[in-house]
Structure 1
Amino acid sequence: MTDLLPLLASAWVLGLLGGGHCLGMCGGLMGALTMAIPPEQRGRRLRLLVAYNIGRVFSYATAGLLIGLAGWAVANSPAAMALRVVAALLLISMGLYLAGWWSGLTRVEALGRGLWRHIQPFASRLMPVKSVPRALLLGALWGWLPCGLVYSTLLWAASQGDALESALLMLAFGVGTWPVLVATGLAAERITAMLRKRGVRLTGGIAVILFGVWTLPGPHQQWVMGHGSSAHQQQSSHLQH
């Protein structure tokens, strides 16, 4: 469990840093969810937003479980290394996109458009959202919207080689996207304006790029892990003496 905690924290931070991208993909829907609700009914607006995001995150976790099964199937094969490399390259591409340096990753989103074409009509019928169950179902459907950030994170989660772990990582990632989308739905202009700033996008993009570089298999991971292990062994030896 202790080995999983840093990965869960990384997935959460990845979702938080990618909030600017989520704002572009789902920000309009967040506003539409609450547009017809008077400002004085803030509690009702919040309930709909929370229900929508619970449904969306549930879809991410489901996708993580499904693709995690594929990752588990190749965990002990030569394909596992290739999967990890592809996941790292996609994360680096996502960082370049967030920083505004390269938008080639948007082409990856075309891979999911076929599936989305079948889901979108059902999602559209749920609008306008007037109840919590409808918001929950809409979120569960909208979670399958083609998204380069989600695809990148999915492959990274699958590269861990454990279906349950992949689902938990996608759950943590989805929760990380909450602050941005909930704030947008509640018309928190200051927060959304801050996330749109060039400096914030650059910081988030560079952080995701570094995370992608770290994900690449190589001696850098062995060095850090070995250094940490040596330090731990030295500390244990010191305590024994």
Structure 2
Amino acid sequence: MDHAHQHIAEFSYAAAFMVGLLGSGHCLGMCGGLVSAFFMKLKARGPWPYLAYHGARISIYAVVGLIAASIGAVVVASGGVGLAQGVLQIVAGLIVILLGVDLLGVSPIRNAYGFAPLAWLRRQFATATQKGPVAGAVIGGAINGLMPCSMTMAMAVQATTAPSPPEGMLLLLAFGAGTLPSMLSASFLFGKLGPALRGWLLKGAALFVILLGASTLWQGVRFYLVMHKLVA
């Protein structure tokens, strides 16, 4: 790995972690009550259900990153490595920027997409507590990882531009690690963070998403122009 690639990768991982960390307000607002109610209904005792839940949730993020990066690799390979990679980065950067603007709440286009049908996800989440403390927690965490979320979707789109599938997986793992503090303590923090603080945290996460998208867009434009000159 050359120094430029290493710096870009380190920036991407750090930015993904900050998106997850600063997205605490968004996580608590969207999922805090859901997670709290889930564990109350699960009647979990000891650390294992909590570890199983969040281990499954972050594992789903990792799988999403792996699949997204693999799709990106296929697109690049099928379209001529040079120009296709630049185009993919440009398109992905624009989509990530739009998802970041959506998180800010100022976009006329709202994200309505997830990784699975929402109605099906809700049904599976509601019945997961009947499977037992640990097995139910694993199912619930996996379903939580698939819930529609602009932050997760932005990270998945960003992963399509990763140099390799393992690096796409690591990008989503970094994002998942950033969400751990808020999600682990969701039952305690839910209701403790006021709407104003959650709003400021979400704005911070959205700015990091936009920064990631802008970085990817710039890399794509630069790469495309270089490769266009080589093949022209």
**Same-fold status (TM-score > 0.5):** yes
**CA distance in 1: counterparts of 2:222 and 2:21, whole angstroms:** 24
Say whether 1:131 aligns with 2:133. yes
CA contact (8 A) 1:105 1:148 kept: no
Show the counterpart of 1:226: none
Say whether 1:166 aligns with 2:168. yes
Show the counterpart of 1:185: 187
Which of these residues, 88, 113, 116, is aligned with residue 93 of structure 2?
88
The offset of 1:58, in angstroms, is 0.5
Q: 1:208 to 1:113 in 2, by over 3 A?
A: same
Percent identity over the alignment is: 29
CA contact (8 A) 2:12 2:212 kept: no
State the 4+ residue runs in structure 1 displaced beyond 6 angstroms: 219-222
Show the counterpart of 2:38: 33
Q: 1:37 to 1:160 in 2, by over 3 A?
A: closer
Which of these residues, 24, 27, 45, is aligned with residue 29 of structure 2?
24
**Residue 216 of structure 1 aligns to a residue in which SS?**
helix
| TM-score, reference length from structure 2 | 0.76
- Unpaired segments ≥5 residues, structure 2: 224-232
**CA distance in 1: counterparts of 2:214 and 2:123, whole angstroms:** 39
CA contact (8 A) 2:33 2:190 kept: no
| TM-score, reference length from structure 1 | 0.73
CA contact (8 A) 2:103 2:150 kept: no
Show the counterpart of 2:157: 155
**CA distance in 2: counterparts of 1:187 and 1:170, whole angstroms:** 24
Number of aligned residue pairs: 214
Show the counterpart of 2:14: 9
Letter of the 2:93 counterpart: A
**CA distance in 1: counterparts of 2:53 and 2:220, whole angstroms:** 42
The two structures, once aligned, show a CA RMSD in angstroms of 3.1
The 10-residue stretch of structure 1 (173-182 or 203-212) with the greater mean CA deviation from structure 2: 203-212
CA contact (8 A) 1:96 1:103 kept: no
The offset of 1:52, in angstroms, is 1.1
The offset of 1:16, in angstroms, is 1.6
Instruction: Name the structure, 1 or 2, with higher relative contact order (CA <8 Å, separation 6+).
Output: 2
Show the counterpart of 1:230: none
- Unpaired segments ≥5 residues, structure 1: 223-241
